[in-house]
A and B are shown apart, each in its own frame.
Chain A
């Protein structure tokens, strides 16, 4: 608000613009962390270790892709971790009823879609602010998991179900990582190369303007909530398969880590700007930080300080820099 930039007398060259972009800055951070990790621990640079490291972020990143679109369109979904709990509980209950792996996958995806549709309907049909709706459904979905499970846990998932979270496609490349890469491409194309992606940006910048230019604003927003629910379902399948059990506290607190990932990836929390490559790099940054500190025996909660500082720092530093530069 208080920052006013003088209009430059010439445009930057495309190369300079690309070099100064958020993604390049973030990539630099990622490389720096990678190098620091190599020096910090002799165990870091090992193919299997690095493969293990990817599990730190693949499930969260899948949801972060959909969340990025949602945030760019000016909404937010804080219920994603609770949707995971709900999907996992539904699959756990199905296992007790003797449902096989294909059925479990269908139930996981279906529950995710239904939860996303409920969020989307509340936000678009009743015109409620998404942050409040999803704070509500966050309690509601996880609450249902608690009602069903209480202090119990579901176990006994079929062996074939273990592939989604524990399987490897070849050598050290896990199924989850392939899924993550595939979804990154799908969401990258969806956001940056399609009409749908353009309308997401348009809605985030000016919803009323988008409506007047013929975009079905409410429908696009509804689809975005649906997509976020679906991604949460996929993440729930992977996570449940990896853990091999369901507790109602599964994926607790993930919503904030996912939002952190999205914002770190350069998506404006106010909507209208952001990119999928940015989110992909942010996923790697967060995964590398967590894993590298883990190798150094730093407890998880201390890593959260680093993540929190990273979140504020990456946003504050450019602003501080421009304040100093323009003397705001």
Chain B
């Protein structure tokens, strides 16, 4: 596929066109400072969309990411209250570890018990949310209870960009290497493309899925701390429904829900597309209540477009049978 026809190029073009359209009326929106702010605001979605992409590539889905994020966030916030002296590095480590464990639970259920991923993560999603309520007794952790160091980390600037943005950038780079340069990356594509063939080439399908969930969980844990410290509040319902945004970002970015197709650049662009819309609506003067409907329409359009683009590939022997399957 030539680079001009690639899904990522088209999506990047769509984002640029969107930005240009906004710029004609509101030039301030495309100032470098504001674009950096939009990127920073979209960073949590980018992190989670990457994790979701890896899981979807293996023919699974992770609906528990937002609940994982919220639970990890609550844990770090409560740890911060209990031990205000705990350094941020330790908190980060704990957050990633907690998220990883939750991801592993999903992965084990999918791998060892062969339970469909949508059922597993639907269940763990409600369980994680419930646990937040149990440990916090339904109370909020507010800004004044958190230590300054806890809140300062994602905002700390390095070379003009906040830490949150840097973490997103580094993660994107790491994922690029992971997906295109490592055996695990190849295995993820192989498992999603054709699980049976993957087995014959010596790839352990279950173990690869377990790895995918572990990665997704680790990212959700990391984002959990960043989310809570950035918004300086933790409660049961933070990031409610965000799991669908991560799926939406991946799908808009051209990741096939059937597995095996998708790229890091696509997922990042999908997240940025949603991020630009979210940040542009109030600027353009459209009620934020439109956002949900617009992202819904974007998902449908993107998936319809992707299906059209993918149709020419492969040999179709029996046309009707193909569409029925």
Contacts and interface: CB of A to CB of B under 8 A. Distances in A.
Interface of A: 1-3, 76, 122, 126-129, 131-133, 135-144, 146-147, 150, 207-208, 210-212, 217-218, 248, 256, 259-260, 263, 269-270, 299, 301-302, 304-305, 307-309, 311-312, 315-316, 319-320, 323
A315 B138 CA distance: 30
A139 B296 contact: yes
B126 interface: yes
Nearest to B320: A211
Contacts of A146: 289-290, 292-293
Given A132-B251, A143-B294, A304-B130, A137 B300 contact: yes
B289 A147 contact: yes
Given A138-B296, A139-B293, A302-B133, A309 B127 contact: yes
B276 interface: no
Contacts of B114: 1-3, 319
Interface of B: 61, 109, 113-116, 118-120, 122-127, 129-131, 133-134, 138, 205-206, 236, 244, 247-248, 251, 257-258, 287, 289-300, 303-304, 307, 320-321, 323-325
Nearest to B199: A1
Contact of A311 (B119, B131, B320): B119
A144 B236 CA distance: 26
A189 B25 CA distance: 60
Given A139-B293, A146-B293, A312-B124, A132 B129 contact: no
Q: Is the interface of A mostly helix, strand, loop or mixed?
A: helix
Lowest 9 A-B CB distances belong to which pairs? A143-B293, A139-B296, A140-B296, A305-B130, A143-B292, A136-B299, A308-B126, A312-B123, A136-B300
Contact of B293 (A3, A140, A207, A263): A140
A290 to B, nearest CB: 12
Nearest to A82: B296
A312 B109 CA distance: 9
A129 B290 CA distance: 25
Contacts of A248: 289
A139 B290 contact: no
